[in-house]
Structure 1
Amino acid sequence: MTEASLILNREGHAGTILMNRPKALNALDIGMIRNFASAIAQWKDDAAVKLVLLEGAGGRAFCAGGDVRAVRAAAVAGDRPPVEAFFTEEYAVNEGIALFPKPWVSLIDGVCMGGGIGLAIHNGPRVVSEHALLAMPETAIALFPDVGTSHILPRLPGSIGTWLALTGARLTGADCVHAGLATHYVLREHFPALRAALVESGDASVVERFAAPLPEASFAPHRAALDRCFGQDSVLGIIGALQAEGTEWAAAQVKILRRMSPTSLSVSLELLRRGAGMNLRQCLDEELKLTRSVVHDHPDFCEGVRSVLVDKDGAPNWAPASLEAVDRAAVLGLFR
């Protein structure tokens, strides 16, 4: 008998959720999303549930994101309803977590990307181990920062959110706390004891007892340049500022940006700038509208997922192929 992809339990004072697709790095499918919605509805008014504890199975990943290969397959087939259902219901879960009236404790050990961040970022505590790896890699597949991160990323310190969104930079361990994506850094060896304390007490503040001292952020030496460059008003402006820095780090950022979908970079920057002035509900609405145009009406999404996740050739054919060829009117047209 096949094990459930999302395992819900009541343990002590906690409602526990285990994402259980380890071979797929616990990537979210529509069934998991619907079970998340059920858990939220079931536990939000249950006085016996003092907190929710969210984990990923398998030891390699918390949640690698949404199942975008399935989204691409539907888009290629011209089948809009499954795509609409996936994003509509996923974003409703993100909002449900944000509005959940109790602590939603995420124990992040391993890979956590895209949709996985959306399951953790809107409530807390958000606990990372030294083996955590967080990223928003959407521009590589020509999507954009979604699951409510268009609200979160502009509110991270300085220009960190823009840097993460455009480059897909991967943050490990304590760096996630420095960037504002996580709240606590706890060594992997202490996760079992932390979990037991949370279940027994129903008190999220016990996380403080297990938190390890934070080492300096690995990006600290580049922080001033990061804020200067990624604070520019356009992607080409960001690239120009990076080139003016004349450092190895800045040159590496330019190389990364030049690999991403030019349209996706432009859409993502516009979305973050808009998100800075909107609440979470407005951001989720804007993201949902964008999924319809970006997934179905522009070729880059299907091409990006093909390149990264289907054929895995790392050789996408973007349209247009360069940032210089991106038409701003066309970008704004996707925000309809």
Structure 2
Amino acid sequence: MEVTDVLFEEKGHAGLIILNRPKALNALTHEIVVAMHRQLEHWLDNDRVKHILIKSNSEKAFCAGGDIRQVAENGPDKIDESLPFFADEYRLNAYMESYPKPLIALIDGIVMGGGVGISVHGAYRVGSEKTLFAMPETAIGFFPDVGGSHFLPKLAKHTGMYCAMTGERLKQADCYSAGILTHAVHSKDMAGLEEALCATEDVNPVLARYAFDPGPAPLDAKADVVDACFGAQSTLEVIDRLQKLLGTEHDEFASGALETIKKRSPLSMEVAFQQVRRGAGLSMKECMVMEHRIVSQILLGKDFYEGVRAVIIDKDHTPNWQHSSLSEIKTVDVEAHFMPPKGGDLVF
């Protein structure tokens, strides 16, 4: 069956992956994930293809995430239908992280969730001033998956934990400073950059020619306070450190972070915190096994379905979470997300 939501092309020395669901902001489907994996395997044996470009046909987004509405509509009774999507997505993420040929993501818009998973693990992440990055999953009772446990711990000064817990949206300068982007370019230069990359075997001089310094990153100005608060040993300690900043020069930052965290699923927040801390000591494949364990448990619970209802379906933004606060969470409830699932661990 032909998949038109993602297109493939060979041009010069490059293989092009073109995300082609503009009306859905290129939300990833199971079919897209499988087709991408298959095509990357095909190009691995093609000597003409020296590197891979991943781009979008949408003017607004590179990829806004995974198409989780169908997963939510399946409900907990149809987990066996939902889990294969995540398993194949995680296999793709791991495959891209270890892919022998350079992967170059051309990010000219929104990049969130699943879109991060098909870009951040490659060798080059090139973003324009239209770049808008976030891992907002805890807002829908989910967790920062697609390898979030692998790359978020690598961001300096606990920026990754900050993004995981608050879903903070980062623009070009912040993404470049944090290392999410390897190169910053102007949106108007993206088409020319693509042409030049297709015409060359050595991508580094071309990327250097188009890249520019996006200037000061707003995130850098609060890096030390992010580090001090989100480097805590527990979620409750993060809350405590933020509360101690109320009424100080950092009041605006602290009150904003506390207000955001208060709206999130407490269970998702605790799972995400543990996920990022544990991921720091794991390989990419080990992270994906862990994330598969987490999603297998989350799909059995209530918060994900309630979060999708409140944020995506009804859009009332008043989810009724399973727990009312972080202090209610029991260790056993969290640890269940890190145990092998009934169907067995993810196999690559």
Equivalence for 1:146: 145
Contact 2:3 2:31 survives alignment (8 Å): no
Instruction: Spell out, residue by residue over 1:120-172, the C-alpha distance to the aligned partner (whole angstroms, 9 max, x if none).
Output: 11112100100110100111011111111101111111110000011000001
1:10-64 deviation line (CA, Å, top 9, x unaligned):
1111000110000000000011011111111101121100110001112100001
In 2, Cα distance between equivalents of 1:307 and 1:208: 44
Q: Is the 8 A contact 1:12 1:202 kept in 2?
A: no
Tell me whether 1:328 sits opposite 2:331 in the alignment: yes
Deviation by residue 1:295-314 (Cα, 9 ceiling, x = unmatched) = 12x10011011111111110
Judge conservation of contact 1:118–1:147 (CA < 8 Å) in 2: yes
CA distance in 1, matches of 2:201, 2:140: 40
Aligned to 1:251: 255
Are 2:238 and 1:238 equivalent residues in the alignment? yes
> Once the 2 structures are TM-superposed, how far is the Cα of residue 243 of structure 1 from its aligned partner?
1.2
Q: Residues of 1 paired with 2:103 and 2:213: CA distance?
A: 23
Q: Percent identity?
A: 39
Corresponding residue for residue 42 of structure 2: 42
How far does residue 3 in structure 1 lie from its aligned partner after superposition? 7.9
Q: 2:109 aligns to what?
A: 110
> 1:14: which partner in 2?
14
What are structure 1's unaligned runs of at least 5 residues?
none
The TM-score, its normalising length taken from structure 1, stands at 0.97
TM-score by length of 2: 0.93
Distance 1:335 1:62 in 2: 31
RMSD: 1.2
Residue 202 of structure 1 deviates from its aligned partner by 3.2
- 8 Å contact kept, 2:172–2:214: no
Residue 346 of structure 2 corresponds to: none
| Inter-partner Cα distance in structure 1 for 2:212 and 2:266 | 40
Please list, as runs of the form range in 1=range in 2, the aligned pairs for 1:172-191 lying within 5 A after superposition.
172-191=171-190
Moved over 2 A (4+): none
Check the 8 A contact 2:5/2:20 in 1, yes or no: yes
Query: Helix, strand or coil: the match of 1:9?
Result: strand
Matches within 5 A, 1:190-269: 190-205=189-204, 206-246=206-246, 247-269=251-273
Any idea what the Cα deviations from partners look like across 1:274-313, whole Å, max 9, x if unmatched? 11111111000000011111112x1001101111111111
Q: How many angstroms does 1:224 deviate by? A: 0.7
Instruction: Tell me the matched-pair count.
Output: 333
Letter in 1 for 2:114: G
Measured against aligned partners, the alpha-carbon deviations of 1:62-121 in whole angstroms (never above 9, x if no partner) come to: 001111111111225x11222121011001111111121111000001110011000011
